[in-house]
Structure 1
Amino acid sequence: MSSATDALNRVFGYPSFRGQQGDIVDHVIDGGDALVLMPTGGGKSLCYQIPALVRPGTGVVVSPLIALMQDQVDALRTVGVRAGFLNSSQDLDERRVVEAEFLAGELDLLYVAPEGLGTAGVQRLLDRGKISLFAIDEAHCVAQWGHDFRPDYLALSMLHERWPDVPRIALTATATPATRDEIAERLQLTEARHFTASFDRPNIQYRIVGKNSPSRQLLELLRSEHAGDSGIVYCLSRASVEKHAEFLSQNGIPALPYHAGLDARTRFTNQSRFLREDGLVMVATIAFGMGIDKPDVRFVAHLDLPKSLEGYYQETGRAGRDGLPSTAWLAYGLQDVMQQRKMIESSDGDLAFRRNAGQHLEAMLALCESVTCRRAQILSYFGQPSETACGNCDTCLTPPSSWDGTVPAQKLLSTVVRLQKERGQKFGAGQSIDILLGKRTDKVSRFRHDELSVFGIGADLKETEWRGVVRQLLAGGFLAVEGEYGTIALTPRSAEILKGERKVMMRREVPSPRTSSSRSGSATGKPPAAAPADLSPEGADLFERLRAWRGATAKEQSVPAYVIFHDATLRAIAALAPQTLDQLGTVSGVGQSKLTKFGDQVLATVRGEAVPESSAEAPALLPSADPALSTRSAVPASPARSAASAAPARSAAPARTSRSQAAAAGPSRSGRSQPAVAGPDDAIPLPPEPDFDEDSGAYEF
């Protein structure tokens, strides 16, 4: 057995690597550079953690979000890995403790932010120690045309120049072929070996529905399919975030808001609660979520259209990291198309920027309007074409029909022509639809649009159908959005339809399917989540007792429940009902470190006996004494539920205790104060978002 596989087996209790993990690990252990593209939940962290533990020295991990470093380090320490971090949340004494550990060779992994790595002080520190590798997480942040560009990542090319003999591994879950090339070029990884896993997330069901009272549509989704589940709801503006968080809370769904308009302490508190409590819904702007390692997110819902397919894929990928059935749900309507077009046209960016943004939007609109398999279209976009339909998206489960929309398209375009040429006027889509339907509204009468020859010629279609026609013409580039008021206008392509040179086939809207959220799930549409359907009644009862024990232990140590054990491991324990530590050690997911820490407690729970105290020392914790974190009045805590995630692996910890581990136990155990932790000021920084005007129904940028 190789040292890498041995570490995987002894610490995490997993028998083997999955997919390309083994090849990546071996390549980096041998000193090779690597660019790894692997979907969220695929086990990317394993690809640098194992080499860092096998190679001599400390693995330096570049992570963009310091607010989440604490959770990453906590999880590693729980399984016995000597991990630490350096970031702006620490005072001088606390930094010195971590620096001393690094110089003494007492850290297996050291997490730093890209801006910190760019400082002379950190670089001099690294020069004095022994580095086993550099891992650049979220590597797509270096792509200047990407959806998560961060300028500090551009400076990471200096890693190769300053430490040429240290292997580097860059990892991302989202990158088109062009973005991969840009990552390799900007990080000087052109000679690195590329590893590309499948971008398919078979446990995620992709669903895109017509937007019609989105608040009620969302509530229906959560009540009927995701009651009690953790999830993320994305909105474009902070006003929409507040509105929908309040709406869900008023309707019995525990929800928290997250956006740049909230103060740092509130963002930090809400972020921490979402990570540590079960059954919460985070309503947030799209900047939230990068690095969120919460495996049991059962759904991701978008109430506004994402700007790109890359962003959509990454955001939806935060659901179902544990491999269990999950839902990616998007409500999409005419206003989304018009607002996105308007944002691009009114942008201060140069022509190249607007062209790039337009191309990203075209790909997103193509997915929304597709009549073929959503998953196949996503995979094709990322360079992995699929010849077969997935059977687990809305278009596969309830195939939409197409209809010949050529004549309606001609009527709509003719209306726009007559308004402009006969009256010298431009209006939004709503006015053209009212004219076609023959509605004598105040505006129609005031502008005498009832005298136009096209007035009332579209009465054969409903208003919702006409809105679908406009939306699909906008998506196809046959209509454009112009000016401050979002009026619609013809494009060069419009003439093809008006002259009868192009036939226009349109998607006919169908009811949203309520079916399985996985290819092997139930037919009820309710994901099985943590329900141990494969267990006997006795096993199911034991599973619930184990979850209760895990919840209490996690609360005692102020860590998320999944840091103790994942649901898959608890299910396996419940099925086996082990009576000895040796038997418990055979369960997948129970490594030597957790066997030592929690073994006696688990066996007592299995036997129905009083649970002894754990031998585990709590890792460095978020400051639970902070009154902001102890507030529970806004949203009630939900019953514990967690789920199994893809297994990252760590090596067994050396017998000696490092400075950070001694400090982590707190004064009651070691007599030393706790090391620094991420504080409220380290909540994820967010860019400003547009404001939503409730009266006009438009966004102000």
Structure 2
Amino acid sequence: MQNILKRYFGFDSFRPLQEDIIGNILAGHDVVVLMPTGGGKSLCYQVPALMREGTTVVISPLISLMKDQVEGLRANGVPAAALNSMNDEAESARVRAACLRGELKLLYISPERLMLELPYLIRDMKVSLFAVDEAHCISQWGHDFRPEYAQLGLLRQTFPDVPIVALTATADRLTREDIQKQLALSDPVVFISSFDRPNLSLDVKRGYQKKDKDRAILELIARHPDDCGIIYCLSKKTTESVAEMLRGHDIAAVAYHAGLPTEERERAQDDFIHDRVQVVCATVAFGMGIDKSNVRFVIHYNLPKSIEGFYQEIGRAGRDGLPAETVLFYSLGDLVQLSKFAQESGQREINMEKLRRMQEYAESDVCRRRILLNYFGEHTDGDCGNCDVCKNPPQRFDGTILAQKALSAIVRADEQVSARTLTDILRGNFSPEVTKGHFETLKTFGVGRDVPPRDWQDYLMQMLQNGLFEIAYEEGNHLKLTESGRQVLYKGRKVELAVIRREEKPQKRGRKSLRPVAAPVLFTGGRPAAAPLAADSQELFEALRALRKRLADAQGFPPYIVMSDKVLQNLCEARPQTVEAFGTVSGIGEFKKEKYGKDFVEVIRRFK
């Protein structure tokens, strides 16, 4: 095990649980692995694949993730290939022939393609192991249920003696039990790793309008001028408008969603993973499915629909273990829209409950990391010190009068107004909804004009969180007082609200216009801003990064496939002067030592 780990992957020791997981697979046991994104799930089946006779078949839902994994394995000298709809007939024939000759150690395949190949190719292969990646997709309780996964129970029937390992980054107790049932696993050994990703900072910005979001995003990117990031959006239209806004400020950005032509979508992803663009704006419904290790920030432009989805998406940041930022924007409008989606879905109760838990995370005033860990059944006594709540605990004030104004307006409007219309009433705005309902005649019309509209949105969100009113989604999102709200309005019960904090406006960059850039803006990638190096080491890092880019471009690989940022930092610290010494650096295996050692050592020697 240790020899394989060092020879092919360049590591001297396993992460927690990896060795035990591999040992159980080698012993022929079925295994369920719950490990966070970036926690090292892939090694759990890749190492035994290299130790067992035959080919390991990896079932993966995303073509882009297959491509990434195959490129990474080949870069480490491991024979691997993928069978999916992107292959032409000639390529598929070559892969099938290699499988039947036993030349591949790992074959990546989609669940749909697996079902087609199962009676023929897979049956005739020497299969050493089945690895079901993103296994939460098999469960109706998971956040991304895919009907095709439900057929994977056939694997146990067809190959009763071949061990199966199911791997996922996000699964609660119900989902884990469903995975075992659907795959017909035989007395599986279940491993649950720590979900803590201490290198990720967690930040929630509440009640921001579009202009405020754009300013905050520009400010964040200004802190990461040479780093890659992902912005997740709720709609296709938003991905395109945010990407256009960024290009208008000379930031290389692309949109990525299911509605784009296939060629354009593939080009956008390819430019991002090869560091030709800095930011990709993607829909949350259409996963990027990439293993890019040097993503330094992930922004959610809108509230996600579940903590599982949110956790998986922020997990795309900082996979190399270096510091990374995550920011979630949250507004009442997001909650209304997502609630409507959940109400209209085929699993109304499940999806509403998952949304409520996501809402609790976004609105909470306690350590956000504790909320995430608790959700996945991992408890901690201490606060993390790396989320916005820990760094800057909120101040509170007596908000009883503000609450009474809002609640009174709801009652006087016969509980027939949405949050937006309520804000117009309180501000004294003659909006079409106000005049149509004759709400300008109410006593409460204009009683809150001294409070800015976005502040009212924030206060109303806090009142919703405090249970003073609820939203009747089935009645046009009208607000209805609760018993707690009546206690405040009629009996003077006190209400505490959090003081709203606004960041200073960031300095604008580049052009003021929002017109798109005609030609792509080249982005060359850079050192993580959150992990500063000494001046001489920074110069060396840039030289190694430039070499990495040249080597990657020559082979058609993304730069992080050649070496991760973490490995480059290790090289800056160790400064090996021989190829042999180069091979002892963490993250450099035998194959990469022989392939790249001479080039990297030559650059390092100049800085001796």
Q: Same fold (TM over 0.5)?
A: yes
Q: 1:454 aligns with which of 441, 444, 451?
A: 444
CA shift in 2, pair 1:229/1:289, >3 Å: farther
> Contact 2:226–2:527 at 8 Å: present in 1 too?
no
| Aligned equivalent of 2:254 | 256
Partners of 1:342 and 1:433 lie apart in 2 by 21
| Aligned equivalent of 1:473 | 463
Q: Deviations over 1:9-32 (max 9, x none)?
A: 122221110111111111111111
| Aligned equivalent of 1:169 | 165
Partners of 1:513 and 1:200 lie apart in 2 by 31
| Aligned equivalent of 2:79 | 82
Partners of 2:322 and 2:484 lie apart in 1 by 45
Structure 1 residue 485, shift from structure 2 partner: 4.9
CA shift in 2, pair 1:584/1:48, >3 Å: same
CA shift in 2, pair 1:429/1:96, >3 Å: closer
3-state SS of the aligned residue for 1:587?
Answer: coil
| Aligned equivalent of 2:289 | 291
Q: Deviations over 1:162-216 (max 9, x none)?
A: 1111111111111122222222222223621111111111111111112132442
Amino acid at match of 2:156: H
Quick check: 1:389 aligned with 2:383? yes
- CA RMSD in angstroms comes to 2.6
> Contact 2:231–2:281 at 8 Å: present in 1 too?
yes
Q: Deviations over 1:34-71 (max 9, x none)?
A: 11111111111000000111111111101111233233
> Contact 2:255–2:282 at 8 Å: present in 1 too?
yes
| Aligned equivalent of 1:227 | 225
| Aligned equivalent of 2:20 | 23
Partners of 2:545 and 2:586 lie apart in 1 by 17
Partners of 1:175 and 1:513 lie apart in 2 by 39
| Aligned equivalent of 1:655 | none
| Aligned equivalent of 2:497 | 506
CA shift in 2, pair 1:487/1:434, >3 Å: same
| Aligned equivalent of 1:378 | 372
> Contact 2:527–2:541 at 8 Å: present in 1 too?
no
CA shift in 2, pair 1:155/1:505, >3 Å: farther
TM-score by length of 2: 0.89
Q: Deviations over 1:352-383 (max 9, x none)?
A: x2222211111111111111101111111111
| Aligned equivalent of 2:69 | 72
Q: Which has the higher helix share?
A: 2
> Contact 1:229–1:278 at 8 Å: present in 2 too?
no
When the two structures are aligned, how many residues end up with a matched partner? 584
What aligned pairs does 1:126-525 form with structure 2 within 5 A after superposition?
A: 126-189=122-185, 191-210=187-206, 211-212=208-209, 213-277=211-275, 280-345=278-343, 347=344, 349=346, 353-420=347-414, 426-438=416-428, 444=434, 447-458=437-448, 461-475=451-465, 478-482=469-473, 485-490=476-481, 494-495=485-486, 497-498=488-489, 500=491, 504-511=495-502
> Contact 1:302–1:331 at 8 Å: present in 2 too?
yes
Partners of 1:284 and 1:300 lie apart in 2 by 11
Amino acid at match of 1:408: L
CA shift in 2, pair 1:203/1:93, >3 Å: same
> Contact 1:398–1:513 at 8 Å: present in 2 too?
no
3-state SS of the aligned residue for 2:93?
Answer: helix
Amino acid at match of 2:409: T
Quick check: 1:11 aligned with 2:8? yes
| Aligned equivalent of 1:520 | none
Structure having greater relative contact order (Cα 8 Å, sep ≥ 6) = 1
Q: 2:55 aligns with which of 55, 58, 67?
A: 58
| Aligned equivalent of 1:572 | 570
Q: Deviations over 1:658-689 (max 9, x none)?
A: xxxxxxxxxxxxxxxxxxxxxxxxxxxxxxxx
Quick check: 1:93 aligned with 2:84? no
3-state SS of the aligned residue for 1:118?
Answer: helix
> Contact 1:138–1:171 at 8 Å: present in 2 too?
yes
Partners of 2:595 and 2:99 lie apart in 1 by 25
Q: Deviations over 1:431-483 (max 9, x none)?
A: 32343345566765675534434345546754433322322334455221445
Moved more, 46-55 or 125-134: 125-134
Structure 1 residue 406, shift from structure 2 partner: 4.5
Moved more, 361-370 or 139-148: 139-148
Amino acid at match of 1:62: I
Moved more, 23-32 or 335-344: 335-344
| Aligned equivalent of 1:529 | 528
| Aligned equivalent of 1:548 | 546
- Sequence identity of aligned pairs in percent? 43
Partners of 1:494 and 1:187 lie apart in 2 by 48
Q: 1:46 aligns with which of 43, 47, 72?
A: 43
3-state SS of the aligned residue for 2:413?
Answer: helix
> Contact 1:209–1:512 at 8 Å: present in 2 too?
no
> Contact 2:295–2:317 at 8 Å: present in 1 too?
yes
Moved more, 164-173 or 563-572: 563-572
Partners of 1:215 and 1:511 lie apart in 2 by 11
| Aligned equivalent of 1:618 | none
| Aligned equivalent of 1:636 | none
| Aligned equivalent of 1:37 | 34
> Contact 2:322–2:531 at 8 Å: present in 1 too?
no
Q: Deviations over 1:221-240 (max 9, x none)?
A: 33432222211111111111
What aligned pairs does 1:532-681 form with structure 2 within 5 A after superposition?
A: 533-535=532-534, 537=536, 539-608=537-606
TM-score by length of 1: 0.78
> Contact 2:84–2:110 at 8 Å: present in 1 too?
yes
Partners of 1:294 and 1:127 lie apart in 2 by 33
Amino acid at match of 2:264: T
